[in-house]
């Protein structure tokens, strides 16, 4: 089955630690995205990538980093510089960056303890 | 910058009734797409319906339809014959040459 897989579903992190969220897609989509979801604020764009080895900052990139070494994979690292990392993180992909719908993974709930 | 505004944080509707969710947007692009996504308690984002801005005809998918008013930059979602499984957070989204932008969502509860 084609789709987007995010892992893990739940993640706990101690303050001061970096943590990496995985996102893999087998839809052969060029574009991939990371969104953060907080209660009452909808989805906010962290980073997006149009093609392999290229990515751009979204609206709230501070404290996050990404890589796009393979078309299928777009991991997100939440660094210790992110002041309030506890949130629900959604990865998405689309055929192209522009004018097209996105398909989403099931999300990762990150909690800082 | 493009924006998407959903002014109804919460709504409720009786089972089998009809409900309309509102969405307004702003963009300088002439070519764009609009979407409604549903996020049930499982938190999986599911595409409900899409509308190409260049099409005047309103999109329809079974019980779901939109009222697209391009000049007013309005894109409302109508759910007919509401079912308990329609209970979810609904997000309006705008995709253009710049990016994919989401509204803050409307929590819809269908009451038995």
Residue A110's pLDDT band (cuts 50, 70, 90): very high
Residue A1's pLDDT is: 63
Across the interface, whether the CB atoms of B31 and A33 are under 8 A apart is answered no
Residue B97's pLDDT is: 76
Count of A-B CB contacts under 8 Å:
51
Q: Which residues of chain B have pLDDT under 50?
A: none
Instruction: Show residues of chain A in contact with B8, CB under 8 Å.
Output: none
- Burial of residue A14 (CB within 10 Å: 0-12, 13-18, 19+) is exposed
> Nearest CB to A104: which of B44, B95, B103?
B44
Would an 8 Å CB–CB cutoff place B73 in contact with chain A? Answer: no
Across the interface, whether the CB atoms of B99 and A94 are under 8 A apart is answered no
Among A8, A9, A99, A96, smallest CA distance to A48 is for A96
Residue A41's pLDDT is: 74
Per-window interface: A 28-87 vs B, CB < 8 A: 33, 35, 40-43, 45, 48, 58
For residue A27, say if its preceding peptide bond is cis, omega within 30 degrees of 0.
no
Q: How much is the average pLDDT of A83-94?
A: 94
Would an 8 Å CB–CB cutoff place A102 in contact with chain B? Answer: yes
* Chain B nearest CA to A82, separation (Å): 22
Residue B32's pLDDT is: 92
* 3-state SS record for chain A: CCCEEEECCEEEECCCCCEEEEEEECCCCCEEEEEEECCCCCEEEEEEEEECCEEEECCCCCCEEECCCECCECCEEECCCCCCCCEEEEEEEECCCCCCCCEECCCEEEEEC
> Nearest CB to A101: which of B44, B95, B102?
B95
Average pLDDT of chain A is 92
Query: How many percent of chain B have pLDDT more than 90?
Result: 84
Would an 8 Å CB–CB cutoff place B88 in contact with chain A? Answer: no
Among B6, B5, B18, smallest CA distance to B107 is for B6
- Burial of residue B99 (CB within 10 Å: 0-12, 13-18, 19+) is middle
CB B89 within 8 A of CB B10: no
Residue A52's pLDDT is: 94
Across the interface, whether the CB atoms of A99 and B102 are under 8 A apart is answered no
Write the pLDDT tens digit of every residue in B73-105. Answer: 999 999 999 999 999 999 999 998 768 889 999
CB B76 within 8 A of CB B83: no
Residue A16's pLDDT band (cuts 50, 70, 90): confident
Write the pLDDT tens digit of every residue in A22-76. Answer: 999 999 999 999 999 998 778 999 999 999 999 999 999 999 999 999 999 999 9
**H/E stretch holding B91:** strand B88-95
> Nearest CB to B33: which of A40, A99, A107?
A99
- A109, closest residue in chain B (CA to CA): B43
Among A97, A113, A96, A93, smallest CA distance to A105 is for A93
């Amino acid at each position: 089955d084609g789709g987007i897989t995010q892992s893990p579903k739940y993640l706990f992190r101690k303050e001061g630690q970096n943590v990496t969220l995985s996102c893999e897609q087998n839809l052969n989509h060029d574009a991939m995205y990371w969104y953060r979801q907080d209660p009452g604020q909808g989805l906010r764009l962290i980073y997006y990538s149009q093609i392999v080895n290229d990515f751009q900052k979204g609206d709230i990139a501070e404290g996050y980093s990404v890589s796009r070494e393979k078309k299928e994979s777009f991991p997100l690292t939440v660094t210790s510089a992110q002041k309030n990392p506890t949130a629900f993180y959604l990865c998405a992909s689309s055929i192209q960056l522009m004018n097209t719908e996105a398909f989403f993974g099931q999300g990762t709930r990150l909690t800082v303890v | 910058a493009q924006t998407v505004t959903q002014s109804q944080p919460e709504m409720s509707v009786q089972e089998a009734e009809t409900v309309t969710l509102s969405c307004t947007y702003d963009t300088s692009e002439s070519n764009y797409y609009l979407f409604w996504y549903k996020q049930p308690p499982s938190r999986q984002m599911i595409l409900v319906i899409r509308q190409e801005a260049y099409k005047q005809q309103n999109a329809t998918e079974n019980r779901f339809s939109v009222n697209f008013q391009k000049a007013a930059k309005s894109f409302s979602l109508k759910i007919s014959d509401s079912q308990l499984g329609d209970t979810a957070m609904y997000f309006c989204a705008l995709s253009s040459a710049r990016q994919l932008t989401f509204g803050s969502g409307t929590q819809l509860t269908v009451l038995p």
